Amino acid sequence: MWLRYHASMIHVFGIPNCETVKKARAWLEAHGVAYTFHDFKKQGVPTERLDAWLAALGWEALLNRRGTTWRQLDDATRAGVTDGASARALMLAKPSVIRRPVVDWGDRITAGFDPDDWARHATRR
């Protein structure tokens, strides 16, 4: 275990059954990184955090267009997502369209899981 952080510094947001979230949480635990987990299914999407994520990452990066939820949307709904406001409304209505996990590292926000990128974030702390 090469790193250990205070749990309040790193917040992971997602859905516990998501395979990417499972891999990400396993990575954090394997590397001794303490974190809190916010479950979109049980706790919803925190609107103030969503606004911060959209500002930091942009709606295009935060919207998961490759996931099952996006593919199951009707054509009109998908076509209606054209800007930050429409993406935000969809993300609040259907949290599963948010790219996961979203991680607040304390000084930056990331979406998705890339072990190499995470190692760089973790070593900067």
So which residues are the catalytic ones?
18
Cα 16 off chain centre by: 12
Q: What are the start-end ranges of the H helices in the chain?
A: 19-30, 40-43, 47-57, 59-62, 68-72, 75-79, 84-93, 115-124
109: β partners? 104
**In Å, what is the CA distance from 78 to each residue of 86, 94, 97, 111?**
10, 12, 11, 21
Contact between 95 and 44 (Cβ < 8 Å): yes
